[in-house]
Amino acid sequence: MSSIHPTAIISPQAEIGSGVEIGPYCVIGGGVVLGDGCRLQNMVTIQGPSCIGARNVFYTGAAIGQQTQDLKYKGEPTFLETGDDNVFREYCTVNRGTLPGSKTIIGCHNHFLAYCHIAHDCVVGSHVIFSNNGTLAGHVVVEDHVILGGLTAVHQFCRIGSYAITGGCSKIVQDVVPFMIADGNPAATRGVNLVGLQRAGFSEEDIRAIKEAYKAVFMRKQNTGAALEELAKSPHAANPRVAKLMAFIQASSRGITK
């Protein structure tokens, strides 16, 4: 059975799953699909069109699925999709897409701490942690297992690769390569996220290969293209983790955080 506080306002065009808890003064707009087992603490707003997965938890003041802040937006239908088992702490904001039919997409098992912001058309993977005030501009891609440090701000169209971590108060203006630590204003790549990789169960062989890739790309005085050519000729190029790192760099349109 769902539990809905009498002060909550729920649109008749919203779909509410089973076992949902909706606390005082929450507002659920039309076009919202709220999955089974979701919990809304109090004063949470979810607007649609939004499809919210199962067992998501929203704390006080979270504003989810609001329209984009992009000034090009003309009121067309845009969307938000989230997976399951996410936590949105106090006053998190998540915006829908901008262009007609566009989506903001969030995966599963993420933890967004207080005052985080995910702007229009972002794609966030799974098992991600955003510390307090982590902020994404529009069209940012965050891959799986990323940790965004507190007060980190990410420029539009940037990508943050899997298992990367940013330091607190970092300014990200280019892509952060997978498995790396980025820190500073503007951010620079400081090294391999060794502790994060060890905690995630990476093998010694994988970590060794990633370290060698880091040396080739970031420590030698050569441009990125030359570094990739060198890395492609090394025995470490066959390692799946290094192959992912190389493919990420090759796909970069903004350049990488060096």
> Does 65 qualify as catalytic in the annotation?
no
> Does 138 qualify as catalytic in the annotation?
yes
Tell me which residue of 6, 96, 87, 112 sits closest to 51, measured CA to CA.
Answer: 96
> Does 145 qualify as catalytic in the annotation?
no
Per-residue tokens: 221:
């005085």
Task: Return d(Cα 118, Cα 104) in angstroms, integer.
Answer: 8
Per-residue tokens: 208:
């060794």
**Which residue among the candidates 121, 175, 183, 206 is catalytic per the annotation?**
121
Task: Return d(Cα 135, Cα 169) in angstroms, integer.
Answer: 10
**Which residue among the candidates 61, 138, 161, 167 is catalytic per the annotation?**
138
DSSP 157-201: T-EE-TT-EE-TT-EE-SBBPTTEEEEETTEEEEEE-HHHHHHTT
For helices 204-214 and 240-250, what crossing angle results, to 10°? 30
Residue showing tokens 């067992």 = 55
DSSP state, residue 173: -
Backbone angles phi, psi at 17, to 5 degrees: -75, -175
**Which residue among the candidates 117, 120, 145, 236 is catalytic per the annotation?**
120
Residue showing tokens 């903004």 = 254
Q: Active-site residues: which are they?
A: 120-121, 138
